[in-house]
Amino acid sequence: METNKRQKVAIDNLIKIATSAYDQINMGDIPRLSLPLRDKKNIEFDTRYNVWKYGDIQSIRSAKTAQGAMMMLRTVYTVDFIREMIKTNKSSTLREMYYISEGWKNAKFCSQDESNSLAEDLEVATGCMREDFKLRPEESGAKVYGDLNFSIPTTKGVWRKSNCIDDVSAEGFSVPYKVEEDSFKIELGNAKFIIAIETGGMYARLVENGFSEKNNCILIHLSGQPARSTRRLIKRLNEEYSLPVSVFTDGDPWSFRIYASVAYGAIKTAHISDYLATPAAKFIGITASDIINYELPTDKLNDKDVNALNAELTDPRFGSAFWTTEIRTMLEIGEKAEQQALAKYGLDYATDKYLPDKLVNIGILR
């Protein structure tokens, strides 16, 4: 498979980094690289687009110190490694890149956190995504079930189409790490909206109960904190195909953050929020009000839960009256609940009563 346009742009931008370092050395200067500071104090919530973005504070990576020189050396080695992967049509996991650096002698990484961080730095510096570098994560992407078709190229370069009901098992279609149009094409069937679901158990319940077929919707298993490819796919379906998005999670502070990462982006990936976040996504997960109104089985909030909820009260992603009320109510009752708590009323309750009511309330179903 030949190098595509996105990969060519990635190579060009990466080579500019290495060339800049070489030119600075050639002129007798200490090589340096300027990047947006990837720190909480330089993260801003863009209220116009409702996503996290980096601010104007810049950090300078310089070879002036021994540590800085080592990082500059690792940067050049990594650029060359990525260039060679794209050239030979290979790919690597982030974990593999860390181990490959063992052969780079003085340039080897001290930890995988260090190599992961450099991959993110290169994304920021080039304006490209690591998927364009042919770097892939260890974690899997989404599982998708619903009436739509995905086409991906085989290893022989032949495009192969799969319908996400007729051509898959009950587990659904497993999404690859890269879902850009050059390697992942989408064709809608009768699907009218999307439900992104936190847990595998609830995803399986909706598939088994025929919720997708009855309501002409797409089910996406987030598998906890969603992978980048999952969030990118949701954004594409929403923006390119005008499909409303709803997110169905447990009722606890960590699940609220899963929703927020889908809708508004995460601090860690603020440099690509425009690619990943779907601000139009609506929350239909378990709330504190649901715990009270449905008399759901619960667990007690622990200290970490309480601290997380209090932090969310100052998080602009949760700044609406709805979220302020629900978070404060959860703190008052001191309880949290899982999606599966709805099974108190039977295995069909989530699909026959809870979700239809929620979807009507947000205007997706009538």
Strand-pairing partners, residue 46, are 51
The answer to whether 302 touches 253, Cβ cutoff 8 Å, is no
**DSSP secondary structure letter of residue 226:** P
Retrieve residue 33's tokens: 């690289």
Query: What are the residue numbers of the active site?
Result: 99
- Mode of pairing for the β-strands spanning 335-336 and 299-300: antiparallel
Between CA 265 and CA 199 the distance in angstroms is 20
Shortest CA distance to 146 belongs to which of 196, 85, 92, 96?
196
Query: 95-99, long-range: CB within 8 Å, 24+ apart, which pairs?
Result: 95/138, 97/135
Shortest CA distance to 289 belongs to which of 244, 324, 340?
324
Between CA 221 and CA 232 the distance in angstroms is 14
Between CA 24 and CA 10 the distance in angstroms is 22
Between CA 92 and CA 242 the distance in angstroms is 34
For tokens 């990635």, the residue is: 10
Between CA 191 and CA 292 the distance in angstroms is 33
